[in-house]
Amino acid sequence: MGEIVIWALVKIAILFGFALNLSAVLTWMERRQSAMMQDRMGPVKANISGVTLWGLLHPLADALKLATKEDFVPPKAHKAIFVLAPLFAIAPVVMVFAVIPFAPPVCLKQLTAIAPRCVAPEHMQIARIDIGLLYVFAIASISVYGAALAGWASYNNYSLLGGLRASAQMLSYEITMGMALIGTFLVFGTLEPGELVLRQSTIAKWGIVQQPLGFILFFFAAIAETKRAPFDLPEGESEIVGYFVEYSGARFMTFFLGEFLEIVFVGCMVTTIFLGGWQAPGLAADGLHIFGLDLQLPHIAVVGLGLVTFTIKVFIVCFLQLAIRWSLPRMRYDQLMRLGWKGMLPASIINVIITAAVVLWMSSPVKG
Amino acid sequence: MPARTKVVTVKRGLWENLYLPEIVRGLGVTLKHFFINTLGPKSKRQIVTIDYPDVVRELPERYRGVHRLNTREDGSVRCTACMMCATICPANCIHIEAGERENPASRDIEKFPQVFEIDELVCVVCGLCVEACPCDAIRMDTHVHMPPVEHRKDAVLEKPELMSRGTKSIAVDGGAGPDWRDKYTDLGSLTQIYRPDHIERDRERPARR
């Protein structure tokens, strides 16, 4: 019993250390990357006695600044809900990380053996539940409360409008997001993320190869869910006023961290479902087999390589999200709704129908 | 010169309305900049940021900086308190109180400013005072930014401070006369521009990367 708790704590520490640190780095990366895309320098000045690390100390400085800023609550705001709203925004994002498989299953007793087989390997995800992806959708849909309540509780018309835009947008794109994944469920026949990754053993079996349309639809619907450009109408930090306009200091930081955690989570989801999770080309249970290289590796090294692969893939997807955010202009609200309801939703339904037909044809005994 | 125009036609076909190909093309443009600026050779990087205040961009010759008051050959202020500058000033930031000279110079200059104050926070840096001045007394060629101040009253520059940046004028007291070429061989030394030391120093400092 004690062992289970310890393992759960270890996994939580690994995954949250990874997610929180990556989201902190992303706050810096977003500014620096956008600067590089626009021929600017970006934040490079924060330093500890002259050491700047290319500006990597800026997240630290930002956190210090935001934590020490005045925590302002508008006089007419609904205090209890105003205080709770940031937590409503960040809690679901933290919870959904539980089902992400970040490394191959570990055989605890045979760490140095080559390609060991064991009856009950330790799965490298915090919670291994059969309805994993349904759980993700269930929890993720709660996060709309954060935006809606923040907008309502601020007692500010602009916040309220921002909150309404956020609710409408998130509810609309959630449908597409779910529909886009149904094709993947049909192909892989499982909802459990760990099992999903295990079934993507070669590149030809990766979700992105089997479900390219599903990948594109899911990726863009997920960007819309994270409320980032080109779908950043709920916030619109530069022109239109968003739902957290009345928030400052640590509460604003909570919203901000939630948003960047969502980026990391979208990275994790896309990696797990479409990019083969921790599976790398050539990485098998007994070692590396790539470019004519046959390297026998002990179990622990394979697990480590899987973890590194997962990290790199998540990082690349996050990079892509930031690149998209700084390349595309914001959509108008009617364009957003038209794209969601008249473009992406029908496309995802067509994807489901075609996938279902192909899966049925492939599995029918009379083919060919 | 006729205005330069460029006609841009936007193609809107099925390919463009699919969004995706165009999104990929746009990403290609931005990512090209990103990779050139991060991984590319130093010579090809296009970053235009000047690392101010570590590096100061060279100011144009006619840049309008903080005012100064020029001096006569005997070191007294050139200003005759004629009020031209204070009158033309659109921001009304120049305050002059005239006084009478005790022993007028050869050309009978009777007045001088007892008080000469410019509120640099009110000043709109238009340069009209310099244009209006008939005596080459007030100038803005210092190439100095107005430094930030803690209290508003600190931004009101008074006569001694304005004169501390003053130099002699190219216009000579009493006029140079028709033989000015022979009389004043060192005209160049009279037209010196005020350049504080720290600007030169900063310009020499290499950019920190």
Q: The complex's ipTM? A: 0.84
Q: Write the pLDDT tens digit of every residue in A153-185.
A: 999 888 998 899 889 998 899 999 999 999 999
Of A285, A259, A272, nearest to A313 by C-alpha is: A272
Give the one of B26, B34, B48 whose C-beta lies nearest to A328's C-beta.
B26
Pairing label, strands A283-284, B94-100: unpaired
Taking an 8 Å cut-off on Cβ atoms, the answer to whether A327 and B23 are in contact is yes
DSSP state of B157: E
Q: How is chain B split into domains, by residue range?
A: 14-44, 68-202
- Closest-CA distance, A298 to chain B, in angstroms, reads 35
Question: Testing the interface with A: which of B22, B24, B31 to mutate, by most A Cβ within 10 A?
Answer: B31
Q: Write the pLDDT tens digit of every residue in A253-282.
A: 999 899 999 999 999 999 999 998 888 887
Give the alpha-carbon dihedral of A209, A212, A217, A221, to 10 degrees.
Answer: 20
Q: What is the pLDDT of residue A81?
A: 93
Q: What is the pLDDT of residue A110?
A: 78
Residue A244's identity, in one-letter code, is: F
CA A335 – CA B34 distance, rounded (Å): 29
Q: What is the pLDDT of residue B11?
A: 81
Q: What is the pLDDT of residue B181?
A: 64
- Closest-CA distance, A36 to chain B, in angstroms, reads 5
Which residues of chain A fall short of a pLDDT of 70?
1, 366-368
Q: What is the pLDDT of residue B209?
A: 41
Q: Which residue of B has its CA nearest to A34?
A: B34
Count CB pairs under 8 A between chains A and B.
Answer: 39
Give the one of A216, A326, A339 whose C-beta lies nearest to B30's C-beta.
A326
Taking an 8 Å cut-off on Cβ atoms, the answer to whether A328 and B23 are in contact is yes
Distances (CA, A) of A232 to A38, A162, B28, B39: 20, 10, 22, 30
Q: What is the pLDDT of residue A1?
A: 65
DSSP state of B99: E
Chain A contact set for B47 (CB, 8 A):
36, 39-41
CATH topology of domain B68-202: Alpha-Beta Plaits (3.30.70)
Q: What is the pLDDT of residue B104?
A: 61
CA B68 – CA B159 distance, rounded (Å): 9
Taking an 8 Å cut-off on Cβ atoms, the answer to whether A37 and B46 are in contact is no
Element (H, E) at B35: helix B20-38
Give the one of B27, B34, B47 whose C-beta lies nearest to A33's C-beta.
B34
User: Which residues lie closer than 8 Å to B81 by C-beta, 6 or more apart?
Assistant: B96, B97, B98, B99, B111, B112, B113
Q: Please, which residues 79-108 of chain A have a Cβ atom closer than 8 Å to chain B?
A: none
Of B83, B92, B202, B205, nearest to B143 by C-alpha is: B202
Distances (CA, A) of A128 to A54, A101, A192, A266: 39, 9, 7, 19
Per-residue pLDDT of chain B (209 residues; tens, 9 = 90+): 678 888 888 888 888 888 888 889 999 999 999 999 988 888 888 888 888 777 877 788 788 989 999 888 778 888 999 999 999 999 999 999 999 887 765 566 788 899 999 999 999 999 999 999 998 899 998 888 888 889 998 999 999 999 988 887 777 666 666 666 666 555 555 555 555 554 444 445 444 44
